[in-house]
Amino acid sequence: MASHFRRLRVQDVRRETSDCVSVAFAVPDDLREEFRFIQGQNITIRTQVGKEEIRRSYSICSSPFEEELRIAVKKVPGGLFSTYANDQLRMGDELDVLPPTGAFYTPLNPAKPKNYLAFAAGSGITPILSLIKTVLAVEPDSQFTLVYGNRHRPSIIFREELESLKNRYMHRLALHHILSREKTDISLHQGVRQRESHREQQDRENVAEPAPDREEESCHKSRHQAVPDHHLGEYKGLACSRHRPGERSEQQVG
């Protein structure tokens, strides 16, 4: 069945960081089925900015269990919709929205625990947040590792929500923040560019191997703004093979 734009009312606009807002939509009962979504999916918004009609896609950051359709929009310099959303969009405004679409997820099965590994940069966290919340709720024995790159601490979108998830799922969620423009006083790692010393350090720390009963591993990478692939690539090798739930770290990328 072809999807059509539906007019939805903005239920809430929440400032997440100085250049990012999250926006929740009210979904009326008669559209509830059409707007049912799977973790990691996205919606397309159509609106008029000035004289121009624009369409933009945004990943859903809420989990299907939260009974909320919420996205996060990071302001792009000179960007039409992201600037409008950050500076002008208000509760009660209406936007045309296409029902959720996309396949940025893997099927969940509570009987098959997995190790999930996700890399996110900036606003790329939006679908990953939905995945984390859903996976940890649905698969009680699965573990999730997030490597999340940002410029500095104040620009970390959903920092508090991630921290509270970390507290809730202490032994199943591992959070690794990489801050490219901030010196941290945590000497755990000296930066991902120093590949050899990082590996050696991990070896010294005798990081636990993944639990042997994990049948599969699932790896997600999400970014909406450029982050050098070689940074993420180095982490891929390390984090896929070494996972220690319950840990939280901050690292500086040189």
Ligand X SMILES: Cc1cc2nc3c(=O)[nH]c(=O)nc-3n(C[C@H](O)[C@H](O)[C@H](O)COP(=O)(O)OP(=O)(O)OC[C@H]3O[C@@H](n4cnc5c(N)ncnc54)[C@H](O)[C@@H]3O)c2cc1C
Binding mask 207-246 for ligand X (x = CB under 6 A): -----------------x----------------------
Tallying the residues shown for the chain, one arrives at 254
- Quote the DSSP letter at residue 77: T
Cβ-based neighbours of 179, under 8 Å, separated by 6 or more:
149, 150, 151, 152, 153, 250, 251, 252, 253
Cα 171 from Cα 58, distance rounded (Å): 30
Cβ-closest position to ligand X: 79
CB of 132 to ligand X, least distance (A): 15
Nearer to ligand X, 46 or 153 (CB): 46
Q: At which residue do the structure tokens 């008029």 appear?
A: 48
Return d(Cα 230, Cα 228) in angstroms, integer.
5
Sheet containing strand 248-252, strands side by side:
216-223, 114-121, 143-150, 173-179, 248-252
Residue of 73, 98, 117, 239 interacting with ligand X (CB under 6 A): 73
Binding mask 6-25 for ligand X (x = CB under 6 A): --------------------
Q: Are strands 173-179 and 216-223 parallel, antiparallel or unpaired?
A: unpaired
74 is an interface residue for ligand X by CB under 6 A: yes
Q: Is 134 in the site for ligand X (CB under 6 A)?
A: no
Which phi and psi (to 5°) does residue 97 adopt?
-130, 135
The minimum distance between CB 8 and ligand X, in angstroms, equals: 16
Residue 123 or 180 with smaller CB distance to ligand X: 123
Measured from the CB atom, the residue of 16 and 247 that comes closer to ligand X is 16
158 binds ligand X (CB under 6 A): no
Per-residue binding letters, 37-56, with ligand X (x by CB under 6 A)? -----x-----------x-x
Near ligand X by CB under 6 A, which window of 74-82, 136-144, 148-156, 191-199? 74-82
Q: Quick check: 58 binds ligand X (CB under 6 A)?
A: yes
* Side-chain half-sphere CA neighbours of 200 within 13 A: 6
How far apart are CB 71 and ligand X at their closest, in Å? 6
- Are the C-beta atoms of 127 and 222 separated by less than 8 Å? yes
Least separation in angstroms between CB 124 and ligand X = 8
CB of 209 to ligand X, least distance (A): 33
In the complex, what is the shortest distance from the CB of residue 129 to ligand X, in angstroms, rounded to a whole number? 10
Q: Are 148 and 176 in contact (CB under 8 A)?
A: yes
| Torsion angle (degrees, nearest 10) of CA 139, 143, 149, 153 | 90
**How far is CA 228 from each of CA 29, 77, 148, 192, 232, rounded to the nearest angstrom?**
44, 20, 13, 12, 7
> Applying CB under 6 A, which residues contact ligand X?
42, 54, 56-59, 71-74, 76-83, 123, 126, 224
